[in-house]
Structure 1
Amino acid sequence: MLLSRHRRSRKRDNHEVTKVGQLGLSDSSNRPTSSFQFGVMFDAGSTGTRIHVFKFLLEDNESPKLAQETFRAIKPGLSAYADEPEKCKEGILELLDVAQSSIPSSAWSNTPVVLKATAGLRLLPGEKAKHLLDKVREVFGNSPFLSSGESVSIMGGTDEGISAWITVNFLIGGLQSSDTLTVGMLDLGGGSTQITFSPRDEKTIQTSPIDYISSFQMFNRTHTLYSHSYLGLGLMSARLAVLGGIEGQPLEGSVTELVSPCLAPDYSGQWEHADVVYTVKGQKAGEPIYESCLKKVEKLLYNKVKPAGEAKDMEFYAFSYYYDRAVDLGVIAEKTGGTVKVSDYIEGAKRVCNGMMVNPGENHFLCLDLTYISVILQELGFSKDKVFKLARKIDEVETSWALGATFHYIESFRNQ
């Protein structure tokens, strides 16, 4: 029997993809001629919770293929219930309905269900995050799916980057053949940002901080990755810092507003971040808005980002807010993606920021966001003429970390 379907008050997004695209999971020659394995991954992000239901086709002497993905998203994120953890259950139950609708009941008990929370929960005080995750474990434990205490956890930023790298390189075929070069991955979320790539120069491995380097085996090959997550440098967290606020601390005393040169001089409005509502205003600038905003952003990022050496010469895909702001600039189409240069963000920032003197526009934070993106990419070591590929999907499959993380979990489950 499906869980209650009366919960319809939340904002949601959903789609279902039926697509047979080779993923290259390890072979299973002792399996029947054809069978299916399902996996359920919850992505508990800073702004919402998303469910991915994956259906893998397993055939003799062949690598499994992704037969279908069902996706649903609701808002707000788990962190919104930090002070009332019991209330987070409703959204989790609603998304479990999606899984039960998508998977035959005969397969429920053999289907692992996993929730990985990202930056939104990483930024919460430890006890508040623990109470939320305990509530999710309680819901999972009462569901018909396969779960354990380890099925619900906060995902380290590095794991997030590695899982997204696995997803992208699965989908472009970079892991299935030693003849195909892998690509790097840049992800800009709300609370954190990640860079992940496979070094080709031994010097990169030797000179990088030890916790930036990870290794794992796949297809009888060892993959060594450079991966680092910068917590607090996601776009929303950085936006707050540039405006002068402090993460997790409501404004107190006589300070009731944030004033910034990155906003139009006559602008005044409200902005909500991490359940705190701020009054934000532009300031009269003595110099052009872009130059004033650039100084603020450069000060924020000073010595906080490590240049990634050889990454500047490798092919990279960029995701999340890198994609969204390129759409806002009109550099790429929202549905199809495309390519963007670092200089596109720089020139876009100059145009938008200085144009606000005449027309503030509808997106009051676009000047700040574009300036921030252009600076952090250069801090990571990319030149102004560096080109990135932007994609929401590859071969009709979402390019999030969820597929890579599900793959790892199912593989470890099957190997136990």
Structure 2
Amino acid sequence: MRFPKLAFVFMFVGCLVVYLTYVKRHYDDSKPQLPDQLPLHRMDIHKQSTSAQVVSESFQYGIMFDAGSTGTRIHIFKFQIEPNEAPKLAHETFRAIKPGLSAYADDPEKSKEGLLELLNVAKDTVPETLWSSSPLMLRATAGLRLLPGEKATILLDKVREVFSESLFLYRPDSVSIMDGTDEGMSAWITINFLLGVLHGTESPKVGMLDLGGGSTQITFALQDEKTIQSLPLDYVTSFQMFNISHALYSYSKNVVMCLNKSFDCCVYVFSVAGPQELVSPCLAPDYSGQWEHAEVLYTVKGQKAGEPIYETCLTKVEKMIYKRVRKIEGVKDVDFYAFSYYYDRAVDLGLIDESTGGSVKVSDYIEGAKKVCNNMAAGGIKESPFLCLDLTYISVLLQELDFPPDKELKLARQINDVETSWALGATFHCIESIHKHGTC
């Protein structure tokens, strides 16, 4: 029996369709599955070359609120994610407002305005299609750590209420008070990541010194197992990041801050001369100013004329810090970056450029304190009445931490145009934790 030619054509086309369908299904089934992770934004970039080439990049956003003692800051990080590689920071958006969240302890409702203002910055920065996959976090530091527990809890609940309506990826545990040790660890991660030495096992890591509005932190990597065994467990923290294990010494102390003129500091560095009247040997004899704390207005005055300001101020500060700060062996052998008030007071002394930073020695703070205090005794530096106190405080603190006078510290507000705060390190930790455990 003979088939027409048209029938053979139909049979051939049908077989071809069946074969191609089978090949496509087999190819789809054999493709590797992506690991379970947060949704990532994928962008294809076509580059012109001798042969057409497509480079595919994935991006992940993380939004961190830093609720500090003097202000609230938002960091919006854009990370470039590539398979089997550590994330790269593609961009950071930063904004800050004052006062700090703790200033609303007696009226939490007023905190909403500032939070919403910063959230609008995030919404303007992150593409709307990515809001639901971009973690939103807040970490409060010393300002809230020093509040009575109930007031801090009410403030954080107000933050959770605002965040829950934001449309970003939010979990209640993403809002919390940060432990001082975690603050130091996160800042250490940030600095070493920005310097490009966090991913390698051979590169020496740098240490971190911070002096904020209500606490001080010192964090550095531990290399020697005997040293690790000899230290108190409270000060040693271990963690893994980018498949590398790190052991850190991280010491944090709510050292009462003269630099912030806190009330606790006044108890130690000032003397009560009468109702709402405080006197300090670290101020000029003719100085008189007003200072409000807890809705009480104090008059702050300098000591009587004739006594040496630097020597009496030094004695008072040494008594304040004595046994409140722990000496740390080995710091002289580690390179350190220092931030916050270390930076600001070095600018005041003219030791570094305000915008670019630089390096100073511990002895620069010691000599700066002597010079400023002596000039103040002679009637100078009236525009910065607390500078003598601040510099004396810093110089004593560094020596109590066992830094020798010739130890050099690097000072920076930014590295590669990124703020040198703990926020980047904490954001890394949160995103990794969400990937692995579903919590921050």
Q: TM-score, normalised by structure 2?
A: 0.83
CA contact 1:294–1:371 (8 Å) conserved in 2? yes
Match of 2:238 among 196, 200, 215: 215
Distance 2:131 2:419 in 1: 23
Q: How does 1:251-262 map to 2 (within 5 A)?
A: 254-262=274-282
Cα distance change on mapping 1:59 and 1:333 into 2, 3 Å: same
Distance 1:241 1:345 in 2: 23
Q: Is 1:269 equivalent to 2:289 in the alignment?
A: yes
Cα distance change on mapping 1:273 and 1:173 into 2, 3 Å: farther
* Alignment match, 2:383: 362
Q: Is 1:282 equivalent to 2:305 in the alignment?
A: no
Distance 2:265 2:372 in 1: 17
Report how many residues are paired: 386
Cα distance, 1:241 vs. partner? 4.2
My pick for the range that moved more, 387-396 or 169-178, is 169-178
CA contact 1:48–1:76 (8 Å) conserved in 2? yes
Q: How does 1:279-358 map to 2 (within 5 A)?
A: 279-358=299-378
Cα distance, 1:67 vs. partner? 1.0
Cα distance, 1:276 vs. partner? 5.3
CA contact 2:268–2:320 (8 Å) conserved in 1? no
- Once the two structures are superposed, residues 175-202 of structure 1 have per-residue CA deviations (whole angstroms, 9 ceiling, x without a partner) of 1212210011000001000000012233
CA contact 2:258–2:266 (8 Å) conserved in 1? no
Note the residue ranges of structure 1 that are not aligned, 5 or more in a row: 1-25
* Alignment match, 1:67: 90
State the Cα RMSD in Å: 2.3
Q: Is 1:56 equivalent to 2:79 in the alignment?
A: yes
Q: Is 1:386 equivalent to 2:407 in the alignment?
A: yes
Cα distance, 1:136 vs. partner? 0.3
Secondary structure of the 1:363 match is coil
- Once the two structures are superposed, residues 290-313 of structure 1 have per-residue CA deviations (whole angstroms, 9 ceiling, x without a partner) of 001001100001111111101122
My pick for the range that moved more, 195-204 or 343-352, is 195-204
CA contact 1:193–1:234 (8 Å) conserved in 2? no
CA contact 1:190–1:235 (8 Å) conserved in 2? no
Give the 4+ runs in structure 1 shifted more than 4 A. 237-242, 251-254, 272-277
* Alignment match, 1:102: 125
Cα distance change on mapping 1:217 and 1:310 into 2, 3 Å: same
- Which of 1 and 2 has greater Rg? 2
* Alignment match, 2:185: 162
Q: Is 1:82 equivalent to 2:102 in the alignment?
A: no
My pick for the range that moved more, 334-343 or 63-72, is 63-72
Cα distance, 1:63 vs. partner? 2.9
Distance 1:84 1:155 in 2: 22
Cα distance change on mapping 1:332 and 1:367 into 2, 3 Å: same
Q: How does 1:134-145 map to 2 (within 5 A)?
A: 134-145=157-168
* Alignment match, 1:113: 136
- Once the two structures are superposed, residues 148-176 of structure 1 have per-residue CA deviations (whole angstroms, 9 ceiling, x without a partner) of 11011000000000000000000111212
Distance 2:98 2:277 in 1: 26
- Once the two structures are superposed, residues 255-297 of structure 1 have per-residue CA deviations (whole angstroms, 9 ceiling, x without a partner) of 2111001001000012345765432110115431000100110
Distance 1:211 1:345 in 2: 30
Cα distance, 1:93 vs. partner? 0.6
Distance 2:186 2:76 in 1: 16
Identity %: 66
Q: TM-score, normalised by structure 1?
A: 0.88
CA contact 2:228–2:236 (8 Å) conserved in 1? yes
Distance 1:406 1:397 in 2: 14
Distance 1:318 1:131 in 2: 33
Distance 2:72 2:109 in 1: 16
CA contact 2:272–2:278 (8 Å) conserved in 1? no
Note the residue ranges of structure 2 that are not aligned, 5 or more in a row: 1-34, 43-55
Q: Which amino acid aligns with 1:414?
A: H
Cα distance change on mapping 1:407 and 1:340 into 2, 3 Å: same
Q: Which amino acid aligns with 1:374?
A: S
* Alignment match, 1:415: 436
CA contact 2:255–2:324 (8 Å) conserved in 1? no
Distance 1:98 1:276 in 2: 36
Q: Which amino acid aligns with 1:266?
A: D
